Amino acid sequence: MQIRKVLVANRGEIARRVFRTCREHGIATVAVYSDADRDALHVAEADEAVHIGGAAAAQSYLRIDAVIDAAKRTGADAIHPGYGFLSERAPFAEACEAAGITFIGPPGSAMVDMGDKERARAKMIEAGVPVVPGRDGITTPQDAAAAAEEIGFPVMIKASAGGGGKGMRIVHEPERVVAAFEGAQREAKASFGDDRIFLERAVLGARHVEIQVLADAHGNVVHLCERDCSVQRRHQKVIEEAPCPSLQMTPEVRAAMGEVAVKAARAVGYRSAGTVEFLFEETPQGPNFFFLEMNTRLQVEHPVTELITGRDLVWDQIRVAAGEPLGFEQADVEVKGHALECRVYAEDPVSFLPRPGRLSRVEWPEGGGVRIDGAVASGTEVSSYYDPMIAKVVTYGADRDEAIAKMQRVLADTVLLGIPTNIPLHLRVLAEPTFREGTAVTTRYLEHHPEVLTPLELPEAKVAAIAAAAAAAAHCGQPSSSAQAGGDARPGAAWRHSVRWRH
């Protein structure tokens, strides 16, 4: 089967990313867009674009009927879901199949098995995959209290249908279990329409390490090394890198984790690109790793894997969806160098609150070993309706030190005027000694290093100089004033949201 036209049921940088691979292989592209995205970059770059509804995701990007109709109207023979939105919704994959449209992703059954955390745990236990000790099927506060005592503190209370940190609570004392259980249950019901809860041991001093897998319809499954995603805020990833810099990530441990990830994929009849996530606990006796969950889609952080393996994961997804075999074996996977990804969000770098608005000026640096997967340009309006991630900055080096040095240069030379971003946070993390050493970073990194959340204080004279430079740039025809963009009109506001300044 040959795929000739792909509709991307998504927006922003991931839609542009998929379009790029399609163009390279002569595949026609279709974009879908909401009211808020009429002028978005992904709309302009596609061969065709179809309006599918209102600004709110529920009125557009989450409408299965509208997406399928757009594919039929444009003659798209395949749909790539990207990540988020409908990407892990089994009914969407089934609707594509019913409409005779190829879904570029896994079978709906795999999504069902891995989308429910309790069901996934049961599947993994059955397959011999190590999971965090815990108890499923907790229905009452009394059950939760008893389970917590049995497991031992601290415990993690989790929503079975959860994700993104919602419906999740860490409890250190018995007297807090009931309130935490009830709070997690309410949040799970409001967020997912499902209030089922389970408990597991809280593995707090661990890394978040994940294994990229690829599987085809012919029984071939391989893994493509690991990624370390330990630097997180609110249980959401901020910086990712590959390979993992832990001293305990030896070739033998890497191979063992890869074999477990392959076993997990086989257990659910997986097909396409997917990611098996683990908690990686470093101890004096050696590492322990536990299955956390499987993401049945392309991950946000897939570029770091592409850079160290030389593969195009989107093209691999398309080939597998077309019925082709992977065409390579585990022994053919070769890892070279080190890659780092920083997610750039339109948000306050201290409170992490979203800060949508118009970007009056955007400049991304270029150079060898630098990749920008972006969703914005000068004049782009960052909407309050969607996730505030506006770009992924990715660097590659012969080793980790080179990748970090490139990332520091790239971020320092990035120009984003008009709204605040988390680039200052990235720069502080990249300069922090523990992160640079790379051997003692866990998912509690930001909690243990509050100094990276503190903005640097500039001398008053330097503030005045930078403000004057920004004002001069505006007079020279550069639309750098955030006041013009409806933003902060205070003196110096134009430079406040840029990392770089120039006369």
Instruction: State residue 286 phi and psi, 5-degree precision.
Output: 125, 175
By the 10 Å C-beta count (0-12 exposed, 13-18 middle, 19+ buried), 416 is classed as buried
Q: Are 27 and 314 in contact (CB under 8 A)?
A: no
| Cα distance between residue 404 and residue 426, in whole Å | 11
Tokens of 160: 């079975």
Handedness of CA 350, 355, 361, 366 (dihedral sign): positive
| Distances in whole angstroms, Cα of residue 373 to Cα of each of 148, 273, 300 | 43, 19, 10
Side-chain-side CA neighbours of residue 258 (13 Å): 19
Which sequence positions are flagged as catalytic? 297
β-pair type (48-53, 28-34): parallel
Pick the closest to residue 220 from 79, 331, 87, 306 (CA basis).
331
Handedness of CA 417, 420, 422, 424 (dihedral sign): positive
Pick the closest to residue 370 from 401, 396, 335, 392 (CA basis).
396
